[in-house]
Structure 1
């Protein structure tokens, strides 16, 4: 399933990807629960993932604090502050990350987490890239932040299997709609 969903994502032209990223950012930013969030955790897109740069640019203009995940040696995510001029480099899995070690915050200190995904369903089940990094975050850390999947509309499927350790989504922002997970 991952292979099929990635292929559909990669089949989009660069122009279609840019347009989709702007549309999904607008959908998320117009969502009432996101409007007042001041501390955001988001990923920096890799490969054909939906780009978060349009979202980041608006958040920076609004004065929001933005944090990105950094994978440490123990294969755990740590959230570090990202500023508009923070120099980045390729890290694990060729994912961009801040060049120098910056102060980090725990997941529970963030108000909204924008999560990458390969696929999703209406129940908030998230199919990730397969590394399990977001699933390793302790469940208690996910109590406070709202978890939003950020994806192309084409990444939605009717049903995904869910394991007990899978982190579920509260919302899904796509280029076509803002979806509320049905549980």
Structure 2
């Protein structure tokens, strides 16, 4: 776990962790992602959840492909967010195959919505949350758009939130704002840490 980040700004931390993650070798990303996915697959919350929201990785984020395919095999409902840059909102959609995705905003794969209705957020039991970094209290450093915070604002009672990260993305403390949400656990290649 990285040490205390001091008084660094969120922007300088974003640059630092983005650069560090972008330097990862593709083989390291693949192997480390597979270890993290194994921890998630054996997690009781994942095993007992019928509906989960995932992210689709880009730029060396932890790759959840194997978990998504396992969820489909287990007949779980896989929910993927579609972003709306105009109002900075994420809208969840149920997908059943890779064919239901297209490159969307920011170059990230997103659901082809066509005539689909958004998935009811109160039916999502587990959300796997990406981040550039997480701290010991579960607060995350995202890309700065506030999409996840605004998404979580819509809940009366939050689903279970698991941050997904490489071990080097864990730090003692991150700067935070009043509107920031924390996750319940963080899963890395070393295991899952309940907070």
TM-score, with structure 1 as normaliser: 0.92
CA distance in 2, matches of 1:67, 1:38: 11
Give the superposition deviation at 1:108.
Answer: 2.4
**Counterpart pick for 1:64 among 64, 68, 76:** 76
Give the superposition deviation at 1:138.
Answer: 4.8
1:137 aligns to what? 151
CA distance in 2, matches of 1:108, 1:100: 20
Structure 2 residue ranges without an equivalent (≥5): 1-12
2:36 aligns to what? 24
Q: Say whether 1:38 aligns with 2:50.
A: yes
1:11 aligns to what? 23
Q: Say whether 1:100 aligns with 2:109.
A: no
Moved more, 155-164 or 110-119: 155-164
Runs of 4 or more off by more than 3 Å in structure 1?
A: none
CA distance in 1, matches of 2:23, 2:145: 23
Give the superposition deviation at 1:71.
Answer: 1.2
TM-score, with structure 2 as normaliser: 0.87
CA distance in 2, matches of 1:77, 1:99: 14
**Counterpart pick for 1:76 among 89, 96, 103:** 89
CA distance in 1, matches of 2:194, 2:156: 17
Paired residues in the alignment total 181
2:64 aligns to what? 52
Moved more, 114-123 or 92-101: 92-101
1:108-131 Cα shifts (integer Å, max 9, x gaps): 220000111000011101111111
